Structure 1
């Protein structure tokens, strides 16, 4: 395999399929904890909702951590790259507008994994929403404000 930057290696062999469920993860640039600020985190959440309202993806579970997010989605139309480009772009605009800054919010690229078995979904959703507990950000899941899952 050629020696490519990590963001390019993530794209090799990527194939997005409508109606397939994916776990998507991406980090903020330099892992800056931008989403320690609740309102900045809500800007990302709003983009998850916009993606669903516009028919691009069904959000099944998500958590916005201080420096990254995990998003379990069923892709409806377009590609994962299009979905992520739109989500990152619009959330960056919203956060910059809210904070009065002009910064690059996200690292290049993202990680995705297609889920193979129906029974994995609840297990993966539990893993996603339990991130704040494992990170020691809260003692009870209900105390963390930036998560949701359709099974809860």
Structure 2
């Protein structure tokens, strides 16, 4: 079994990438969006966190979450969120092979097992990841500018005066190679 090393920073900010099983494009369907929203609301009651930035694409999610002081248990939050969404949207999943580890674990074929995380180091790292999140729908060809994508906190950032509505229109921002996890 692989030895995954996670960097746990109590009260930290983390960038995450979660990907659907086999990159199946189901996340932007209304049922999935509602299931994800409800799961996040439910999990936040027992395991609080703040959403600093978010983008939902058909086959993956990028976000930055801030955990409460003294708490670094982001794996439990994602486990619960993914499980709740899987229960609500499981009818979309194919059946795993009967002798597979997914069948033994009673896993549905909705999510990749793992997720990618990065502990945000400083304000510049935070800003670069927020930009990456908001530009991601353009990068993947889903729209021509971030303002055109409805499933993003980009609009919240515009309303707060942190971005102009035409941010990144006609230009590709430059991101450090380490950003992404895709």
TM-score (norm 1): 0.78
Contact kept, 8 Å, 1:25 with 1:69, in 2: the verdict is yes
CA distance in 1, matches of 2:153, 2:144: 17
CA distance in 2, matches of 1:66, 1:142: 17
Alignment of structure 1 residues 46-65 onto 2, 5 Å: 46-65=38-57
Query: In structure 2, what is the equivalent of residue 108 of structure 1?
Result: 113
The 3 A distance-change label for structure 1 pair 148 and 139 is: same
State the Cα deviation string for residues 70-100 of structure 1 (Å, max 9, x = none): 110112235121011011111222323xxx4
Per-residue deviation at 1:38?
3.5
The 3 A distance-change label for structure 1 pair 63 and 20 is: same
Query: In structure 1, what is the equivalent of residue 136 of structure 2?
Result: 131
CA distance in 1, matches of 2:126, 2:65: 10
TM-score (norm 2): 0.67
Q: Structure 2: which 5+ residue stretches go unaligned?
A: 94-107, 159-182
CA distance in 1, matches of 2:34, 2:84: 12
Q: Secondary structure at the match of 1:139?
A: coil
Q: Structure 1: which 5+ residue stretches go unaligned?
A: none
Higher relative contact order, chain-length normalized (CA < 8 Å, sep 6+) = 1
Query: In structure 1, what is the equivalent of residue 73 of structure 2?
Result: 79
Q: Could you say what the CA RMSD is over the residues aligned between the two structures, in angstroms?
A: 2.3
The structure in which a higher percent of residues are strand is 1
Report the structure number with the largest CA radius of gyration.
Answer: 2
CA distance in 2, matches of 1:94, 1:50: 13
Query: How many residues in Structure 1 have an aligned counterpart in Structure 2?
Result: 141
Instruction: Say if 2:157 is the partner of 1:151.
Output: yes
Contact kept, 8 Å, 1:41 with 1:146, in 2: the verdict is no
CA distance in 2, matches of 1:55, 1:107: 22
State the Cα deviation string for residues 82-130 of structure 1 (Å, max 9, x = none): 011011111222323xxx4464311111111111112322221121021
Instruction: Say if 2:31 is the partner of 1:39.
Output: yes
